[in-house]
Structure 1
């Protein structure tokens, strides 16, 4: 036991020594920045000392997450230091992080995933889900669309992102992709959330994608697309949720592992389209 505890302590120390990579990129009226580092510890890195911390910011990241999330357990891999931040000269901010995304996961109040859990259990008779697991969304599905400062103004719009324009060849000034969390669903699929940004001379484009594949049961893709064109006083944000059961699909196995290809075969379940007005922009 002592040897196992020592190994765990050494692992935590090694993780804490890993550097946080960051980069800033000024673009037009924006400052784009990302930070990237290691996965979340699997236990308190202060050996339980966080229990006496009244200020949540004084707790280790693991304890900050567990105290703010009403989930029986977290995804296999959570990246608490992976953050994409966009700050406009007006002071308004748009960011993407794992904690805010996981706060959108059902914690048992809605029981959204019970039917899927039962179907998964039938497809995998050797897998046991206890009652607590059935009361929350064990697929970690989130409808997170990013975290906006309060000074942005949202309004419905009929305007759409010009995908054909995005397909045109234009120099890429900046590109980065971050994983926010991932879970392999006990080796029976995958649930992942990642965000990537591409900056061109005329615009920037962000894709935040939640991808779920429960083997032999179902697939789901929740996409948030955000587009900004230089000189525009607003951003366009499009959210779509698509889903299909395996019994309704007959596709090559390789497509099930590629969300970009799979998305075109899934059924649109919900969507919303917003114009995000930038305060003070002309």
Structure 2
């Protein structure tokens, strides 16, 4: 399902959307970003109904970034709804917090914890009742969302022969357009963070868009999922680089210590994916590309 923009409600109005959308035209490409306040209850209720899962505490349903090739109408967009629609809506990938064992032993109020068959059955029935009330889903809001495409699809590269030209991006070219947009954020019931955000920069001959999921479940796991979109305006070459990184929380913490970080700096570093991404092992990587006329 493609969402492509905010669900209708009294706010944001079309005028709000227009005022909040900024665009830049560069050699036949229109690069846009929209930043609106956190979604209101009407949008949230409708979004949850359509998604079938609760949304994060901070959901920016009207926000988006997009790249459009004006001549052909090809478009790549990132928005909150489509990102959350890629979250696992089953209990297959549910994570447990670091103290889940203690919580599991005490979560059934009024049901004594013992191995008596009657009590075990009572706990199981209570657990079944909870499952009926709260549909299980990946509450870490981990998504493999790589953007919503209109038009020509990407093709998987053979042997990753055309990676993003990092050296060209390191050149001191002037930045003509820059935006950073948050799509959603959750504090995971005070157990960490799950943040999906996009950052883009446009230079005279090329641009780079980075959309990143950063998920840290304290004491358990750290995940970083990056989608990089590189566009060469002169050749029409578009590259999509998708990388998944993941490791145990304690291993990343130890890697920070081994790299020379002082213990007092660990908390700050563990909150910043830019400081730890190189320490989190890569578990998956794909390169795709297409050429626009």
Matches within 5 A, 1:135-150: 135-150=136-151
Matches within 5 A, 1:1-282: 19-20=16-17, 21-41=20-40, 43-44=41-42, 61-71=43-53, 73-88=54-69, 89-108=71-90, 111-113=92-94, 116-117=95-96, 119=98, 121-122=100-101, 131=131, 135-157=136-158, 158=160, 159-249=162-252, 250=254, 251=256, 252-278=266-292, 281=293
Calculate the TM-score normalised by the size of structure 2.
0.76
Report the CA distance shift for 1:156/1:180 in structure 2 as closer, same or farther (over 3 A): same
What residue in structure 1 maps to residue 5 of structure 2?
none
Q: C-alpha separation between the residues in 1 aligned to 2:37 and 2:106?
A: 30
Deviation at 1:176, TM superposition (A): 0.2
Larger radius of gyration: 2
Q: C-alpha separation between the residues in 2 aligned to 1:265 and 1:233?
A: 34
Q: C-alpha separation between the residues in 1 aligned to 2:12 and 2:75?
A: 28
Report the CA distance shift for 1:173/1:123 in structure 2 as closer, same or farther (over 3 A): farther
What CA RMSD, in Å, does the superposition of the two structures yield over aligned residues? 2.6
Q: C-alpha separation between the residues in 2 aligned to 1:127 and 1:240?
A: 39
- The count of aligned residue pairs is 246
Deviation at 1:139, TM superposition (A): 0.3
Contact 2:75-2:149 within 8 A present in 1 as well: yes
Q: C-alpha separation between the residues in 2 aligned to 1:127 and 1:95?
A: 45
Q: C-alpha separation between the residues in 2 aligned to 1:180 and 1:127?
A: 35
Deviation at 1:79, TM superposition (A): 0.5
Q: C-alpha separation between the residues in 2 aligned to 1:259 and 1:165?
A: 23
Q: C-alpha separation between the residues in 2 aligned to 1:226 and 1:173?
A: 17
Contact 1:98-1:181 within 8 A present in 2 as well: yes
- Bigger mean CA deviation after superposition, 126-135 or 184-193: 126-135
Q: Unaligned regions of 5+ residues in structure 1, if any?
A: 1-11, 45-60
Report the CA distance shift for 1:231/1:256 in structure 2 as closer, same or farther (over 3 A): same
Deviation at 1:156, TM superposition (A): 2.1
Q: C-alpha separation between the residues in 2 aligned to 1:123 and 1:247?
A: 20
Q: C-alpha separation between the residues in 2 aligned to 1:232 and 1:161?
A: 14
Q: C-alpha separation between the residues in 1 aligned to 2:291 and 2:226?
A: 21
Q: C-alpha separation between the residues in 2 aligned to 1:79 and 1:228?
A: 26
Contact 2:97-2:217 within 8 A present in 1 as well: no
Q: Unaligned regions of 5+ residues in structure 2, if any?
A: 1-8, 108-126, 257-265
Contact 2:78-2:147 within 8 A present in 1 as well: yes
